[in-house]
Structure 1
Amino acid sequence: MTELSTIYKLSLVTFICFIKACSSSCPVLECWFVQEKTGRGGGLTGATSQDKSLLHIRTDAHSHTAKSQQAPSDINPDRVYFITDPAATLCHHSLNPPRGSVEKPECEINPFSPQPSDLKWVAPLTDSGLSPIYLEADWFSTSMQGLNKQVAISTIMRAPTATKEHNVILSVTSNTVSVQSRLGEPVLLDCGFWVTLELEIVEPPSVSIYPSPLPLAVQGQTLTAQCEASGFAPLSLELSWEFQGTDGKSRPLGSGSVTGHRQAWDGTYSQSSRLELDTTKLDLGRGGEVICVAVHLGGKRQASVTLNVIGFSTPSIEDSMGMVGVALVLYGLIKFVSWTFTSSGSDVAGQQEKKDK
């Protein structure tokens, strides 16, 4: 009895899962592709053309099951589209009739051209005041109605130019397609919408230089410094080096030897640059600040370390004045000691002469 009970439960669970899978599967919709023909002049609109089309609905853009299905012979392969609908709005059960059913859902697809907005608050959304590059694509609108008027759906879809991969950008649904009411009675209408939003993580880099501080450099020596930029997203980054001397003037040192990007567990990236500092060729003088600059979409970041160079061949004005000062002090000290010894020797000689007398 226990084994029969277990088999019964497993069969029931399998049946329920099968029913859910069938009910939640996305349909392959036959749709009419309707567009206006080119006018014949005189400002008159041309007639419309209707072509049968096929829409493979999916919720995951990486799903390839639809591509393996053969299109019917009466449908032009150019009119077969693959629709990605993450919200699964187009997977409503009323759009997926049983196989062999005479009744089919209504569907129409039309080319759609986004129009510029006249609203004042829209213009500052882009630097140029015009539509962003995102709108430079093929756009389509669809109108669908499920079996028995269970649901009505209108969508706006975007496809990269000259492709058949459509993404649902906006969908508006209603479960009250047809409503009857008496005069004076309140009516409850259903309306819902779903829209895609793009979220881009922009994280500026954290910049550091190694070793820090830099070791004391001797004139003619070559030092190596490494700049590490970490924790940034998106990928694009520019690393460069600068040198600021004791006179306050800055000059570029180039980008150094830049490594490839490395991705961390949290999705951010890191990159490093290695710079060789030749104190002879680069004319670094007595030293200064070595600066690493990282330019990123999230902002400009930089780090700096101090470089000290000893054994500089040409003395500065401060060095010359210091040496003159030291020479004067030494000269004065020698004169003072000499005068002290001379005066003390004269006193001793005078006292000796008095004793002799």
Structure 2
Amino acid sequence: MKRFFNKALLFLSLCVLGSCFQAIESPCPAADNTKTKKNHTQSLTKQDKSALDWVTGSGKPASPGNAAPNKASGLPPTHTPGTSPPNDLSNKHVPAKAPVSPPPAKTAPVGEAAGIGDLESMIKTIKQQQATIDLKAVGDSIIILRRKITNNPEDPVLRQRLGTLLYLAGDYEGAASELKHAISLKPTNYVAHALLGRVLADAGEREASSMEFHTAIALAPTVAATHCLYGESLVSRGDVSEGINEFRRSIGIKPNAMALTGLAEALMIAQDVDGSLKAARQAVSEESNSPDAYVALTKALLLSGDTEGAARTAREALLLNPNSAASHIAVGRSLYATGKP
């Protein structure tokens, strides 16, 4: 019995050893699957491996320096714990809006800004042209303006310019008609009112002239040239004291050579030699290239007895405007006063 048991034990051992040798020579299916998976993984491209690692979570954790997305793979960025995600806008600095200041208050335009011309420039043009007027040039300009008005009959600026040229040509009636037409097209045109006042004053219509000047001053009370033009009209018709007041109002608004020259001339008529000399000197100081200012100073110096000074200022006036009749008269009077031929 003992012998039989030993033989059975030996047979069982041999069976076990045989199974082990068979397992070594023939790998199990699990091992084959592992090998196949390994070979398939090796056949993947680098891009596919990166995508696979990201999906399965088997890749290396991204460092802060590698948080930027991979442009080649198109992978989403990663970020370290404790920091804001790349799309988190909570830590971004939003600049504050600059304070919006209210727009400056608009002021009523005057002169050229209002589309009606500058009165002071027009007055200077009138004075200069009256001394050395070229009637042919004025006539040509009138023809051109009339053609423009034919195409634009409702343009007040064209009417105003035509009225000014007609005044220079001596056609007071035509000038008044065009200026009135300009006013009818634009009643707030203070320049046209002032020029019409000047035309009516030269035409001898005192009341109508004063009314136009008052209207112009009411429309633009801060325009110094209107008071100056009105002062000249008052002095020319004999209202010297009223003219002096208007010149002083003009100077009070804005010191200017035109008003100071007019004041000096008016004070000479009023026999105020010192006042006229002071106003004339101030006019030259205000505008050193004004021949009218030097002419006024020459007259004041002659009244004060300073003939040598009068000769110098007269020559200066002639140099500034050799075509001015007033400058030549000033030179002649100064030479006569000094006894020189």
Q: TM-score, normalised by structure 2?
A: 0.20
Counting helix residues as a fraction of each chain, which structure ranks higher? 2
When Rg is computed on C-alpha atoms for both structures, the one with the higher figure is 2
The TM-score with structure 1 as length reference comes to 0.20
Question: Higher relative CO (CA 8 A, sep ≥ 6), structure 1 or 2?
Answer: 1
Q: Give the structure with the higher percent strand.
A: 1
